[in-house]
Amino acid sequence: MKILKRSLLVALFLVGIGGSYLMGWMRSHTTISAPPTAWSENDDIAKAWHELSVSMEAAGAELMATARDEHDKKEGFQALSSLLSASLEMKLTKGDPLRPAFTDWMSDHRKFLGDSPDAIYLTAEISGDHDYEIIGNKADVHYLGIMLYGRLPNGWNRPAGNISSHDISFDEKGNFRLILSRNKPSDSEVDWLKLSRDVHMVMVRQYFHDRPNSQKASFQIRNLNASDSREDNFLKTADGLRAATKFFNEAFRGTLALDRMQSKTLNSIDLPDSVDPDFVGIFYPTDDNAYFGTNFLIQEDEALVLEGVAPNVEYWSVALMNRWMRTFDYETYQVDLNNSRITVDDGRFKIIVAHQKPSAEIGAESGVENWVETGGLKHGLVTFRYQLYEGDKTPTATLVKLKDL
């Protein structure tokens, strides 16, 4: 009898626990309604957070209004997520010029603003009011470039200084040291980039011919004028949030602007008639790269033929991206080639962009040496990078039927 009573009590207890869990699960909220905006009106950090959330909503709404299909929509929200993540890391978490730290733009599978399978991009927030030192080791990097960016009076970015592998002094082990400052260092032997008042960012680019099998460079940056004070950084949280919001908005608007511009010259590398100011204001080009590209639209029985004089440079490449400036899936498909893998005939190249490799079996007259695949996507962006290019030859693009190759 005692055993039966004990069993009943245990059963009732378990039923009670199960019922409570079920009721809690049914009443739990995984979706939260937007509260009235009054919660943020009397606090600057709260206002800055609200401004960021409004920008996210606006970007999502514009994305939904312009998405071409389900895949385009999915990639668009992936792009926004990458951009938001990088914006907060760059401008909030690591946004203090007094204590700079590098953000790897494309870490953790992030892709935005024209990533490259061959490259690593890192930036740090700096100020023309301070002096900085960058020390590191180039490891297996083919090209190492360090670029400063300032701001024009209208807020647009401007190149403000650059030094790359050919001019950096490496020791026998690949170590280097670079000073960023307003005034020239007393040590005349040290590498130096002059800072102007408007400089706000330093970007380090690393390019590889075989990135998966290469060791990336290692380096760090420090402020030579920083004190040992432990100032409460929460005082700057609102500024960091607003800087992140600004970068997020400008990068998204710039991405849309490039798509609008390139769509006017579909399947052609001709320059557009006009340049959208939203595009000019945000992008971070380097003086060491020449860029060419076009939007493409390719049907199943078509191919885009890219031709030109092979540039006489140490590195050049072609890659496919979507309209959100994210490279196609290069871990699954061959969506890019660099000059270490491009066959050149008598100083010229021919690269075929198609859904499948052209061959006699699918109607082409012959196979091709250089092919990049779309992964089944009809729309996209072709982008060329010619590094340290001093020529004036531009590649061409021609849409043809596969059977005519």
Confidence class for position 362, pLDDT limits 50, 70, 90: low
Confidence class for position 366, pLDDT limits 50, 70, 90: low
Residue 305 has pLDDT above 60, yes or no: yes
Residues in the chain: 405
Mean of the per-residue pLDDT values of the chain = 89
CA distances from 63 to 91, 249, 285 (A): 24, 13, 25
Quick one: CA dihedral 350, 355, 360, 365, positive or negative?
Answer: negative
Mean pLDDT of 97-102: 96
What pLDDT is attached to residue 284?
A: 84
Instruction: Choose among 184, 181, 128: nearest CA to 158.
Output: 128
- Count other C-beta atoms under 10 Å from residue 146's C-beta: 25
Q: What is the rounded distance in angstroms from the CA atom of residue 142 to the CA atom of residue 215?
A: 10
Mean pLDDT of 55-65: 98
Single-letter code of the amino acid located at 303 = A
Cβ pair 319, 289 in contact under 8 A: no
What tokens were used for 52?
A: 């960021």
Confidence class for position 155, pLDDT limits 50, 70, 90: confident
CB neighbour list of residue 46: distance below 8 Å, 6 or more residues apart: 39, 40
Confidence class for position 320, pLDDT limits 50, 70, 90: very high
What pLDDT is attached to residue 154?
A: 81
What pLDDT is attached to residue 357?
A: 87
What pLDDT is attached to residue 33?
A: 72
Residue 171 has pLDDT above 60, yes or no: yes
Question: How deeply is 67 buried, as exposed, middle or buried, from its count of CB atoms within 10 A (0-12, 13-18, 19+)?
Answer: middle
CA distances from 175 to 165, 172, 217, 222 (A): 12, 7, 10, 16
Residue 11 has pLDDT above 90, yes or no: no
244 phi/psi in degrees, rounded to 5: -65, -40
Instruction: Choose among 176, 172, 150: nearest CA to 164.
Output: 176
CB neighbour list of residue 210: distance below 8 Å, 6 or more residues apart: 340
Domains of the chain: residue spans and CATH: 44-95+236-267 (no CATH), 97-226 (2.60.120.600), 288-404 (2.60.120.600)
Residue of 361 and 403 predicted with greater confidence: 403
Instruction: Choose among 119, 48, 36: nearest CA to 327.
Output: 119
What pLDDT is attached to residue 224?
A: 96
What tokens were used for 308?
A: 């030109």
What pLDDT is attached to residue 2?
A: 56
Mean pLDDT of 274-297: 82
What pLDDT is attached to residue 233?
A: 54
What pLDDT is attached to residue 6?
A: 61
CB neighbour list of residue 12: distance below 8 Å, 6 or more residues apart: none
Q: What is the 3-state secondary structure (H, E, C) of the chain?
A: CHHHHHHHHHHHHHHHHHHHHHHHHHHCCCCCCCCCHHHHCCCHHHHHHHHHHHHHHHHHHHHHHHCCCHHHHHHHHHHHHHHHHHHHHHHHHCCCCCCCCCEECCHHHCCCCCCCCCEEEEEEECCCCCCEEEEEECCCCCEEEEEEEEECCCCCEEEEEEEECCCCCCCCCCEEEEEEECCCCCCCCCEEEECCCCCCEEEEEEECCCHHHCCCCEEEEEECCCCCCCCCHHHHHHHHHHHHHHHHHHHHHHHHHHHHHHHCCCCCCCCCCCCCHHHHHHCCCCCCEEEEEEEEECCCCEEEEEEEECCCCCCEEEEEECCCCCECCCCCCCCEEECCCCCEECCEEEEEEECCCCCHHHCCCCCCCCEEECCCCCEEEEEEEEECCCCCCCCEEEEEEHHHC
Residue 368 has pLDDT above 50, yes or no: yes
Confidence class for position 391, pLDDT limits 50, 70, 90: very high
Residue 74 has pLDDT above 60, yes or no: yes
What tokens were used for 131?
A: 């002096």
- How confident is the model over 200-244, as pLDDT tens digits? 999 999 999 999 999 999 999 999 997 655 555 555 899 999 999
Question: How deeply is 404 buried, as exposed, middle or buried, from its count of CB atoms within 10 A (0-12, 13-18, 19+)?
Answer: exposed
Q: Name the percent of the chain lying above pLDDT 90.
A: 75
What pLDDT is attached to residue 381?
A: 96
Single-letter code of the amino acid located at 369 = E
What pLDDT is attached to residue 119?
A: 98
Find where tokens 């960058």 sit: 134
Residue of 32 and 165 predicted with greater confidence: 165
Residue 363 has pLDDT above 50, yes or no: no
- Count other C-beta atoms under 10 Å from residue 300's C-beta: 11
Residue 24 has pLDDT above 60, yes or no: no
Residue 197 has pLDDT above 60, yes or no: yes
Mean pLDDT of 99-111: 95
Q: Name the percent of the chain lying above pLDDT 70.
A: 86
Single-letter code of the amino acid located at 189 = E
Find where tokens 């075989």 sit: 210
What tokens were used for 267?
A: 């399947």
54 phi/psi in degrees, rounded to 5: -65, -40
Q: What is the rounded distance in angstroms from the CA atom of residue 250 to the CA atom of residue 253?
A: 5
Mean pLDDT of 9-28: 54
